[in-house]
Structure 1
Amino acid sequence: MTGTLINGADLGRDADLDATTAVITGIGITAPNGLGKQEYWEAVRAGRSGIGRITRFDPSGYPATLAGEVPGFEAAEHLPNRLLPQTDQVTRLALVAAEWALADAGIDTTALAEFDMGVLTASGSGGFEFAQRELCSLWSRGSQYVSAYQSFAWFYAVNSGQISIRHGLKGPSGVVVSDQAGGLDAIGHARRQIRKATPLMVSGGMDASLCPWGWAALWTSGRVHAGSDPERAYLPFDPRASGHVPGEGGAILIMESAATARARGAHSYGEIAGYAATFDAPPHAQREPGLAAAIDMALADAGVAASDIDVVFADAAGIPELDRIEADAIADTFGYRAVPVTAPKTMTGRLYSGAGPLDVATALLAMAAGEIPPTVNVTPSSDSPLDLVVGGARRATVRAALVLARGQGGFNSAVVLFGPDGRKRP
Structure 2
Amino acid sequence: MTAAVITGIGVAAPNGFGTENFWAATLRGESAIRPVRRFDVSGYPARLGGELDGFDPADHIPSRLLPQTDRMTQFALAASAWALADARVEPGAYEATETGVAMAGAFGGFEYGQRELENLWRSGPEHVSVYMSFAWFYAVNTGQTSIRHGMRGPAGVIVSDQAGGLDAVAQARRNIRKGSRLMLSGGFESSFCPYGWVARMSGGTLSTGDDPRTAYVPFDVGARGYVPGEGGAVLVVEDAAGARRRGAHIHGEIAGYAATFDAAARHGGARGLRRAVEGALADAQMTAADIGVVFADGSGTPDEDHAEAEAIAAVFGPGAVPVTVPKTMTGRMSSGGASADLACALLAMRDGLIPPTVNVRTVAAGAQIDLVTGGPRRWEPGAALVIARGRGGFNSAMVLRRGTASPDVSAEATSNDSDIRTGSGGE
Using the alignment, how far apart are the partners of 1:207 and 1:387 within structure 2? 30
Q: Which SS does the other structure have where 2:213 is aligned?
A: helix
The counterpart of 1:412, out of the listed 395, 405, 409, is 395
Is residue 391 of structure 1 aligned with residue 391 of structure 2?
A: no
Deviation at 1:283, TM superposition (A): 1.2
- 1:154-165 counterparts in 2 under 5 A? 154-165=136-147
Q: Which SS does the other structure have where 1:41 is aligned?
A: helix
TM-score, normalised on structure 2? 0.94
Is residue 143 of structure 1 aligned with residue 132 of structure 2?
A: no
The counterpart of 1:72, out of the listed 37, 54, 60, is 54
The counterpart of 2:329, out of the listed 347, 367, 370, is 347
- 1:66-145 counterparts in 2 under 5 A? 66-145=48-127
Provide the residue aligned with 1:300 in structure 2: 282
- 1:240-319 counterparts in 2 under 5 A? 240-319=222-301
Provide the residue aligned with 1:12 in structure 2: none
- CA distance change for structure 1 residues 117 and 245 in 2, over 3 Å: closer, same or farther? same
Provide the residue aligned with 1:62 in structure 2: 44
Deviation at 1:310, TM superposition (A): 0.2
Q: Which SS does the other structure have where 1:232 is aligned?
A: coil
Residues 94, 181 of structure 2: 8 Å contact kept: no
Q: Which SS does the other structure have where 1:281 is aligned?
A: coil
Residues 5, 404 of structure 2: 8 Å contact kept: no
Residues 110, 168 of structure 1: 8 Å contact kept: no
Provide the residue aligned with 1:14 in structure 2: none
TM-score, normalised on structure 1? 0.94
The counterpart of 2:157, out of the listed 175, 191, 206, is 175
Using the alignment, how far apart are the partners of 2:177 and 2:62 within structure 1? 35
Deviation at 1:111, TM superposition (A): 4.8
Is residue 401 of structure 1 aligned with residue 401 of structure 2?
A: no
Residues 206, 251 of structure 1: 8 Å contact kept: yes
Q: Which SS does the other structure have where 1:415 is aligned?
A: strand
Give the letter for the 1:282 counterpart.
A
Deviation at 1:198, TM superposition (A): 0.3
Residues 306, 367 of structure 2: 8 Å contact kept: no
Deviation at 1:41, TM superposition (A): 0.5
Provide the residue aligned with 1:233 in structure 2: 215
Provide the residue aligned with 2:310 in structure 1: 328
Deviation at 1:59, TM superposition (A): 0.8
Using the alignment, how far apart are the partners of 1:244 and 1:409 within structure 2? 16
- 1:10-89 counterparts in 2 under 5 A? 20-89=2-71
- CA distance change for structure 1 residues 421 and 187 in 2, over 3 Å: closer, same or farther? closer
- CA distance change for structure 1 residues 196 and 422 in 2, over 3 Å: closer, same or farther? closer
Using the alignment, how far apart are the partners of 1:165 and 1:381 within structure 2? 47
Deviation at 1:108, TM superposition (A): 3.2
Residues 99, 183 of structure 2: 8 Å contact kept: yes
Residues 137, 145 of structure 1: 8 Å contact kept: yes
- CA distance change for structure 1 residues 272 and 51 in 2, over 3 Å: closer, same or farther? same
Q: Which SS does the other structure have where 1:310 is aligned?
A: strand
State the Cα RMSD in Å.
1.4
Point out the more displaced range, 329-338 or 133-142.
133-142
Give the letter for the 1:316 counterpart.
G
Q: Which SS does the other structure have where 1:231 is aligned?
A: coil
Q: Which SS does the other structure have where 1:175 is aligned?
A: strand
Residues 234, 339 of structure 2: 8 Å contact kept: yes
Unaligned runs of 5+ in 1: 1-16
Using the alignment, how far apart are the partners of 2:91 and 2:110 within structure 1? 30
Q: Which SS does the other structure have where 1:312 is aligned?
A: strand
- CA distance change for structure 1 residues 266 and 111 in 2, over 3 Å: closer, same or farther? closer
Deviation at 1:73, TM superposition (A): 0.7
Residues 399, 421 of structure 1: 8 Å contact kept: no
Using the alignment, how far apart are the partners of 2:338 and 2:158 within structure 1? 13
Deviation at 1:274, TM superposition (A): 0.4
Residues 403, 415 of structure 1: 8 Å contact kept: yes
Using the alignment, how far apart are the partners of 2:51 and 2:232 within structure 1? 11
Point out the more displaced range, 253-262 or 110-119.
110-119
Q: Which SS does the other structure have where 2:65 is aligned?
A: helix
Deviation at 1:381, TM superposition (A): 3.3
Query: Any idea what the Cα deviations from partners look like across 1:142-164, whole Å, max 9, x if unmatched?
Result: 11000000000000110000001
- CA distance change for structure 1 residues 295 and 135 in 2, over 3 Å: closer, same or farther? same
Using the alignment, how far apart are the partners of 1:153 and 1:173 within structure 2? 17
- CA distance change for structure 1 residues 216 and 398 in 2, over 3 Å: closer, same or farther? same
Deviation at 1:423, TM superposition (A): 8.1
Residues 240, 404 of structure 2: 8 Å contact kept: no
Give the letter for the 1:406 counterpart.
R
Unaligned runs of 5+ in 2: 411-427
Query: Any idea what the Cα deviations from partners look like across 1:375-422, whole Å, max 9, x if unmatched?
Result: 000021365300000111100012100000000000000000001268
Using the alignment, how far apart are the partners of 1:415 and 1:244 within structure 2? 23
Residues 277, 397 of structure 2: 8 Å contact kept: yes
Deviation at 1:112, TM superposition (A): 2.9
Query: Any idea what the Cα deviations from partners look like across 1:199-255, whole Å, max 9, x if unmatched?
Result: 000000001101111011111110100011100110100010000000000000000
Identity of aligned residues (%): 57
The count of corresponding residues between Structure 1 and Structure 2 is: 408
Residues 102, 108 of structure 1: 8 Å contact kept: no
Residues 385, 400 of structure 2: 8 Å contact kept: yes
Deviation at 1:197, TM superposition (A): 1.1
Provide the residue aligned with 2:195 in structure 1: 213
Point out the more displaced range, 100-109 or 365-374.
100-109
Using the alignment, how far apart are the partners of 1:243 and 1:409 within structure 2? 16
